[in-house]
Amino acid sequence: MAASFYSIVVDAHDLPSQARFWCRVLDWKMLFEADDEIVIGADKDAVPGITFVPVPEGKTVKNRLHIDLAPDDQAVEVARIIGLGATRADIGQRADAGWVVLADPEGNEFCVLSPKNSLID
């Protein structure tokens, strides 16, 4: 039996703020909220989701795992997400890279790709 992709877990200081940011970015909703966990997703039956959990320490290095977003229009989506509270991030990407690196309000890097129709193009 194969495993299925269920959720990405993100360490956070301000769970509600992080959850609201990502809900706005992805047009998702909060599905479950407690002091020690917030789960967001497109719907309670649509996987994967994102789970935010509290941690005492701050982020100190580049993420080893990150989210890639594939919009219809990269420039428009980058501007929209920056308007929601993201910032541009420099992780050493080439100037001609086909993606834009942003950081969420707690500094977690993620990429906004050029439009994609497939996982391999």
pLDDT tens readout for residues 16-28: 999 999 999 999 9
H helices of 8-86, in order, are: 15-26, 74-83
Using one digit for the tens of pLDDT, what is the confidence trace for 42-61?
999 999 999 999 999 888 88
pTM of this structure: 0.91
* Least confident window among 20-24, 45-49, 67-71, 113-117: 113-117
Spell out the domains of the chain, with CATH numbers in brackets: 1-55 (3.10.180.10), 66-121 (3.10.180.10)
Strands (E), the chain: 7-12, 29-34, 37-41, 49-54, 67-69, 87-88, 99-103, 109-113
Choice between 84 and 115, residue whose per-residue pLDDT is larger = 84
